[in-house]
Amino acid sequence: MFGNVHFQWAAVQFAPILESVISVQSNRSRSVNSAASPEDLHKLFVQALNSGDLDRLVGLYAFDGFLMARSGPARGISAIRKALAEYVAMKPTIQLTTRRVVQVEDTALLVADWRFHGTTSDGGNVSTSGTSIEVARRQPDGSWCYLIDLPNGLD
C-alpha cells in the first residue's frame, strides 16, 4: 500500500518535468513541419488539414497551447490533438486567407478568413465559415507555432 501511494506522489511531482521533456522533443521534430514565419502557419495548417494529417496539424501547436474547439476549450497538446482529430475525421477541405499579421519580436497576432467543408459521421454535410484570431510564438529553433487559436475569433 505504501509503495502505491509513494508512486502516485512521485507521478504527480514529476509530471511537469516529463511534460517539459516531451515538449522539447515535440518541438525538435518540427523540421519538416516548420513555420519559418507566422504567415507560414496558415499555409501549413491548410495543407495538413486538407490532407488529413493529424500529426502535422498537431505539430503546429505549442505544447502548452490553447484551442477553442467546436467541442469546447482544449488546453495542452493532448486536448488539442483530441479536438483536431474531430475535424480531421470530417475529411474536410478548408480555404484560408490571411487578413493581417502583427508581429512584435517573438509573438505574432494573426487574423484570417476561412471556409470549411466536411462530412459528419452520419454522412451529413458541414459548411461553415468565419474569421479566426491566433496568437503565435517563435520557438527557440526559430520556427513558429500556435499558442492560442480562436477559429471563430471573438464570437
| Eight-state DSSP code of residue 37 | S
pLDDT at 18: 44
Place of cell 497538446: 77
67 domain-assigned: yes
14 domain-assigned: yes
pLDDT at 155: 80
How many CB atoms within 10 Å of residue 112? 22
Percent with pLDDT over 90 in the chain: 75
When divided into structural domains, the chain yields a total of 1
Calculate mean pLDDT across residues 138-144: 96
pLDDT at 113: 98
- Report angle CA 27, 31, 32 to the nearest 5 degrees: 125
| Eight-state DSSP code of residue 41 | H
137 domain-assigned: yes
pLDDT at 139: 96
Which CATH number does the domain housing residue 115 bear?
Answer: 3.10.450.50
Residue 94 pLDDT more than 70?
yes
Calculate mean pLDDT across residues 131-145: 97
Residue 32 pLDDT more than 80?
no
Do residues 97 and 116 touch, judged by C-beta distance below 8 A? no
- Report angle CA 141, 148, 154 to the nearest 5 degrees: 150
pLDDT at 8: 52
Percent with pLDDT over 70 in the chain: 79
Calculate mean pLDDT across residues 60-78: 97
- Domain holding 107, by residue range, is 2-150
pTM: 0.79
74 domain-assigned: yes
110 domain-assigned: yes
155 domain-assigned: no
Burial of residue 94 (CB within 10 Å: 0-12, 13-18, 19+) is: middle
Sequence length of the chain is 155
